[in-house]
Amino acid sequence: MKPIEKLMRTAPVIPVLVIDDIAKARPVAEALVKAGYPVLEVTLRTDCALDAIRTMKQVDGAIVGAGTVTNPEELAAAIDAGAEFIVAPGLTDRLGHAAIGANIPFLPGIANAGDIMRGLDLGLTHFKFFPAEASGGIMALKALSGPFGQCLFCPTGGITERSAEEWLALENVLCVGGSWIVPSV
């Protein structure tokens, strides 16, 4: 099993976290791990995101990664901060090659067949379906599963506590990303 698949199978919901206040990073990580959410995606959308990754990694049981990684420079900074996995909103050849070269579990975003084909050309088979609801929702992912049955997904973007169960019922969905779990802190 690929490391990214093992990570995706660790918990059905991966909290997508926007940390604005570094003082809240550790308490949030502790609470999430205790509640059964050990895989934490810290988005690189705030000035303290890299420090939040460093802080959250200190929590026993936390598996902390970086999200919203859009280029090789952010990838390198996230790895330097201790990120254990990388999530991107999309996929470029440059970022894909950098992540593969870094040998880190990588979950690039896709929204259509062309994106998946670009990933397959790079040897990738595990993807973030983003923005899931805006990209056609469950019906779109079901349609993509026909020609891309070898691929597995983590839908993110518009997933709610209520809709998560429907997404998780799909055979090709291993987990979902959820920003509803923790509002921006």
Do 99 and 29 reside in the same domain of the chain?
yes
Do 93 and 118 reside in the same domain of the chain?
no
For residue 5, tell me if it sits in a domain. no
For residue 183, tell me if it sits in a domain. no
Do 31 and 91 reside in the same domain of the chain?
yes
Residue-wise over 64-74: b if at least 16 C-beta within 10 A, else e?
bbbbbbeebeb
For residue 112, tell me if it sits in a domain. yes
Do residues 16 and 109 make contact, with C-beta atoms less than 8 angstroms apart?
no
pLDDT by residue, tens only, the chain of 185 residues: 899 999 999 999 999 999 999 999 999 999 999 999 999 999 999 999 999 999 999 999 999 999 999 999 999 999 999 999 999 999 999 999 999 999 999 999 999 999 999 999 999 999 999 999 999 999 999 999 999 999 999 999 999 999 999 999 999 999 999 999 998 78
The total number of structural domains that make up the chain: 2
Give the pair of three-digit tokens for residue 58.
Answer: 């200190």
Residues carrying an active site annotation: 41, 128
- Here the CATH number for the domain that contains residue 38 is 3.20.20.70
Do 91 and 49 reside in the same domain of the chain?
yes
For residue 168, tell me if it sits in a domain. yes
Paired residues of 87 in beta bridges? 107
Q: Which domain holds residue 45?
A: 13-104
Ordered DSSP codes for 26-77: HHHHHHHHHTT--EEEEETTSTTHHHHHHHHTTSTT-EEEEES--SHHHHHH
Paired residues of 15 in beta bridges? 178
For residue 95, tell me if it sits in a domain. yes
- The 3-state DSSP class for residue 91 equals coil
